[in-house]
Every structure is written in C-alpha cells, then in structure tokens.
C-alpha cells in the first residue's frame, strides 16, 4: 500500500457572483478549458483547467461574494502563463485592471508577474518563468 501523503493541489475554489462572466474570464481571456459542470441542489459547479491548474467555480444565485476578508490567510493565487504582456493587454481590453508587468530577475531563474482582481474579487497573480526550474517539473 502506498504511503498516505499529499500528492498535489487538487483545485482552487472561487465563489462567483456572475457565473457566465467568471467562465468568460477564465476560459475566453485566460485560456482555461471548461472540463466539468454539474448542479448540486441550487449550486452550479464548474471546473476549468489549464495545465495542472484547476479552478473550481461555485455559483449559488443570490449569494453575495467578493467582500474583502481582511483576516483571510490566502492572499492570492498564481496562474502560470506564457505571453504575459499580451495577456495583460487582452485583460485590459476586456475591462480588467491588471498591474504593470514586473520582473524579478533573481527569483527562480527570472520571473515576470502581474496582479489583478478577478471577476469575483479574487486576487490573482499572472506568473511567467523565464525558464521553468527543473525542480518544479
């Protein structure tokens, strides 16, 4: 029998205020694929996936979402991207407000990033490696 242990991040869950807008953001703008949808009671449940990153979109009609949680432990989640400058431009064209692309040359062999708030107030970092470190593969 295999040793019980964590094997990876299963998903990141995000409550959505507007399910269609959230799907458009993750699928149309960021390039995720919609891989699963179902309804459980009055909750609409969608999984979108890009590479090994899975985001669980949860929607209950009438539920208020996006209120800041000042004591929350999760500050943001990062989505690995390529073509960050073009992606930031696409997001700006769609009405989002990503920050300017920054570079940290001495982190993990060189990275670029940009922060933005998603359609539900979720804090997202777009994260691009100059060359993905072998220890992360």
**Domain 12-62+74-136 CATH (choose: 3.40.50.970, 3.30.420.40, 1.25.40.10, 3.10.180.10):** 3.10.180.10
pLDDT in tens, 44-60: 999 999 999 999 999 98
Tell me if 48 sits within 8 A of 26, measured CB to CB: yes
User: Which residues are 93's β-sheet partners?
Assistant: none
**pLDDT (0 to 100) of residue 12:** 93
Residue ranges per structural domain of the chain: 12-62+74-136
Sheet containing 33-40: which strands, arranged edge to edge? 12-15, 53-59, 43-50, 33-40
Retrieve residue 115's tokens. 């922060």
pLDDT in tens, 11-48: 999 999 899 999 999 999 999 999 999 998 999 999 99
First to last CA, the chain: 25
Contacts 24+ apart (CB under 8 A), 96-103: 96/25, 96/29, 98/126
Contacts 24+ apart (CB under 8 A), 84-91: 84/112, 84/113, 84/114, 84/126, 84/128, 87/29, 87/30, 87/126, 88/114, 88/126, 90/29, 91/29, 91/116
- Local structure of 17: helix, strand or coil: coil
* pLDDT above 80: residue 65: no
**pLDDT (0 to 100) of residue 10:** 85
Neighbours of 13 (CB within 10 A): 12
Bridging pattern class, strands 102-104 and 111-117: antiparallel
Higher pLDDT, 31 or 1: 31
pLDDT in tens, 76-103: 899 999 999 999 999 999 999 999 999 9
**pLDDT (0 to 100) of residue 44:** 93
């Amino acid at each position: 029998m295999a040793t019980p242990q964590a094997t990876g991040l299963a998903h990141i869950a995000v409550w959505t205020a507007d399910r269609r807008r959230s799907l458009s953001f993750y699928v149309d703008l960021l390039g995720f694929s919609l891989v699963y949808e179902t309804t459980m009671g009055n909750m609409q449940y969608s999984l979108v996936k890009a590479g090994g990153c899975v985001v669980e979109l949860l929607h209950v009609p009438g539920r208020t979402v996006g209120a800041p949680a000042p004591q929350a432990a999760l500050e943001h989640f990062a989505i690995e991207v390529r073509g960050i400058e073009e992606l930031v431009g696409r997001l700006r064209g769609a009405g989002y407000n990503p920050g300017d692309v920054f570079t940290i040359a001495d982190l993990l062999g060189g990275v670029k990033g940009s922060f933005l708030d998603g359609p539900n107030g979720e804090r997202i970092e777009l994260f691009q490696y100059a060359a993905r470190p072998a220890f992360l593969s």
